[in-house]
Amino acid sequence: MKRPGPALLLHLLLVAGAVVTLIPLAWMVSASLMPAGEANTFPPRLLPSAPTLGHYGELFTRLDLGRAFGSSLLVAAATTLVSLLLNSMAGYAFAKLRFRGRDRLFSTLLAAMMIPAPVAMLPLFLILRSLGLVNSYAGVVLPAGATILGIFLIHQFARGLPDDLISAARLEGAGELQVYWRIVLPLLRPVLTTLGIITFLATWNDFIWPLIVLTDERRYTLPVALASLVGEHAQDTELMMAGSVLTVLPVLFLFLGLQRQYIAGITLGGVKE
Amino acid sequence: MLPDRGARSVPAEARAALLLLGPGLAVITFFFLIPIAASLLLSFTDFDIYALGSFRNVRLVGLANYARLVQDPLFWISLRNTFYFVLVGGPLTLGVALAAALLLHARLTRWKGFFRTVYFAPYVTTLVAVAIVFRYLYHPKFGLLNRGLGILGIPAIDWLGDPRWAMPAIILLSVWKNFGYAMILFIAGLQSIPESLYEAARMDGAGPWTVFRKITLPMLAPTFLFLGVMTTIGYFQFFAEPYVMTGGGGPLNATLSTGLLMYKQGFRWWSMGYAASISFVLFLIILAFTMVQFRIERRRNA
């Protein structure tokens, strides 16, 4: 390196930023392994004196957080699958099929994307109630079964697919739905991965909607269970940290594994024309 | 704007489109668009816990909910808190994100992928879980934050217990959690600025600060607009942070957000008509902010 001065300063700043960013997550993991009471000492400890997995054991036995983990997994996986199917169907239709009013319909949808979701929540709750879907997983999954952002992402990608492939399949006698299922869907795989991980993470992390719809604690997803747990166990810092680790770690690992696709999705969603 | 290719309809494709669009559009219409319209209607009614028992107990009350709203001190407090959060938290988030993006984009920077991953990681975490983590980091006696400040000689702050500090504490959490998202888009924006622009400026003898002000910032304007709109929309709805960290809006309502007030009125006290009027006013405010940002951008381009 020719100019060690600026490069050194630059990297000192970057490392300092990384340390500040990681401290909350690192402390969360460390405190979750401390013996009970050790996170509430002065001066605060950074590392456990004798690491223990006891709090995790308690989460799964006495507090039954394994059930909430299962609920979260079920809701996130179901929402991801349903929305991938519905969004890819709609996104492809908007991108490649020719029908009257298509572009007007599409731009109307995009304008509606600006409407904040909480505005819809009160009537949505009443609708689900009249359908008997309150306190059911379907009540959490269905309203997220298709999203404007998802349709938009698929549309952006599907627009670039070669028309020849589609018309060749039609010439060979494939029906329109077969074209979608056999030809288009496999070609959409990169954007499906991207949208899949975005949807999974967003659903896993969501709080307000499952909080409203799921009234029975036995159906709580992890964030709802955690928020309710902190009411009774606020003093049990180490236990709460174990619960937080259980909630955060799966999505953090998922992100680390599929980082490239996830960030591609963020960038694609952010560069709208 | 592309020419409307959809105008030339092909019958077989139109039929297929109906099948393919049907389910997705049904979900969006039934669970999003209709509820939004219904929300406006709901705000003109006295829908409450009795109406929940039987819809026959619902009466139209005109603008009574809105009249109640302007006289409700809690609503004004929540609005003040929400504006505080948006107007301080939003720019702070984007500022930190831009700084991080510039550091990561610099030519001398090494291990870019590593730093990018670290800075982005908080964004994918679960808000409820990290809000609980921060609750303990903010503990006046045992928390790491006060310990760090203590080493620097700054006396302990009761972050979540003092009405003056509770909102800054929540903003700090939000900046930490969200700056990575904006950073990614800023990096994409920086990468799209042609190198020739920088070279031309340097040939004209412009210093780094001038280059930043005259080239980098203007070229990032579309990114700023997008992030400004998205951050405004997102931050106006903040809810989980006070729900989890300050026992639902404390201390002394210092962190009661309009979203939280709506939740409490609608889903805790079941005053759904009143809650709908709150949500609609919040929606109009968000809409106004979005329009203003688009207007500013258009005027800058004109």
pLDDT at A63: 87
Of residues A29 and A116, which shows the higher confidence score? A29
Share of chain B above pLDDT 70, in %: 97
Question: Distance of CA A265 to CAs A41, A260, B68, B282, Å?
Answer: 43, 9, 44, 29
Q: Is residue A29 part of a domain?
A: no
pLDDT at B202: 86
Phi then psi for B60, rounded to 5 degrees? Answer: -75, 130
Q: Which residue of chain A is at minimal alpha-carbon distance from B187?
A: A267
Q: Is residue A5 part of a domain?
A: no
Average pLDDT over residues A69-95: 97
Q: Is residue A75 part of a domain?
A: yes
Three-state DSSP at B221 gives helix
Strand partners, B60: B45
Those residues with Cβ within 8 angstroms of residue A75's Cβ, 6 or more apart along the chain or in another chain: A137, A140, A141, A203, A210, A221
For the purposes of burial, counting CB atoms within 10 Å of the CB of A163, is it exposed (0-12), middle (13-18) or buried (19 or more)?
Answer: exposed
**Tens digit of pLDDT for each residue in B40-74?**
999 999 999 889 888 888 999 999 999 999 999 99
CB contact (8 A) between residue B20 and residue A97: yes
pLDDT at A3: 55
pLDDT at B299: 85
Task: List the structure tokens of B223.
Answer: 């990114």
Instruction: Give the total number of structural domains in chain A.
Output: 1
pLDDT at B169 over 90: yes
CB contact (8 A) between residue B15 and residue A176: yes
Q: Is residue A38 part of a domain?
A: no
**Tens digit of pLDDT for each residue in B188-218?**
999 999 989 888 888 888 888 898 998 999 9
Q: Band of the pLDDT at A6, cuts 50, 70, 90?
A: confident
Task: List the structure tokens of A265.
Answer: 């999705």
Q: Is residue A194 part of a domain?
A: yes
**Quick check: B259 and B171 in contact, CB under 8 A?**
no
Please choose, from the candidates A203, A144, A66, the residue with its C-alpha nearest in 3D space to the C-alpha of residue B124.
A203
pLDDT at B5 over 50: no
Domain that holds residue A75: 51-270
Is residue B85 less than 8 Å (CB to CB) from chain A? no
**Quick check: B49 and B270 in contact, CB under 8 A?**
yes
User: Which of A40, A116, A224 faces B286 most closely, judged by CB atoms?
Assistant: A116
Q: What is the CA radius of gyration of chain A?
A: 23
**Tens digit of pLDDT for each residue in A153-181?**
999 999 999 999 898 998 888 888 999 99
pLDDT at B3: 47
DSSP state of B45: B
**Quick check: B293 and B229 in contact, CB under 8 A?**
yes
pLDDT at A42: 83
In the chain, the amino acid numbered B155 is P
Task: List the structure tokens of A136.
Answer: 């059911």
* Residue with the two structure tokens 């959409």: A188
Task: Give contacts of A273 with chain B, Cβ < 8 Å.
Answer: none
**Tens digit of pLDDT for each residue in A188-206?**
999 999 999 999 999 999 9
Q: What stretch(es) of chain B map to CATH 1.10.3720.10?
A: 71-301
Q: Assign residue A10 a region (left: φ > 0; alpha: ψ between -120 and 50; beta: otherwise).
A: alpha
DSSP state of A37: T
* Residue with the two structure tokens 């008997």: A132
CATH code, domain carrying A212 = 1.10.3720.10
pLDDT at A272: 47
pLDDT at A271 over 70: no
Q: Is residue A195 part of a domain?
A: yes
Task: Give the integer Cα–Cα distance in Å for B177 and B132.
Answer: 13
**Quick check: B125 and B180 in contact, CB under 8 A?**
no
CATH topology of domain B71-301: MetI-like fold (1.10.3720)
CB contact (8 A) between residue B243 and residue A227: yes
pLDDT at A270: 66
CB contact (8 A) between residue A121 and residue B17: no
pLDDT at A17 over 90: yes
Q: Is residue A70 part of a domain?
A: yes
Three-state DSSP at B60 gives strand
Average pLDDT over residues B3-14: 66
Q: Average pLDDT, whole number, for chain A?
A: 91
**Tens digit of pLDDT for each residue in B226-254?**
999 999 999 999 999 999 999 888 899 99
**Tens digit of pLDDT for each residue in B110-161?**
999 999 999 999 999 999 999 999 999 999 999 999 999 999 999 999 999 9
CB contact (8 A) between residue A24 and residue B23: no
Task: Give contacts of B242 with chain A, Cβ < 8 Å.
Answer: none
Q: pTM for the complete prediction?
A: 0.92
**Quick check: A71 and A132 in contact, CB under 8 A?**
no
CB contact (8 A) between residue B118 and residue A22: yes
Task: Give contacts of A102 with chain B, Cβ < 8 Å.
Answer: 4-6, 17
pLDDT at B82: 97
pLDDT at B107: 87
pLDDT at B8 over 80: no
Is residue B289 less than 8 Å (CB to CB) from chain A? no
Taking the CA of residue A182 and the nearest CA in chain B, the distance in Å comes to 14
Inter-residue long-range contacts of B105-110, CB under 8 Å, 24+ positions, other chains counted: B105/B187, B105/B190, B105/B191, B106/A10, B108/A1, B108/A3, B108/A6, B108/A7, B108/A10, B109/A10, B109/A11, B109/A14, B110/A11
Of residues A126 and B8, which shows the higher confidence score? A126
Q: Is residue A245 part of a domain?
A: yes
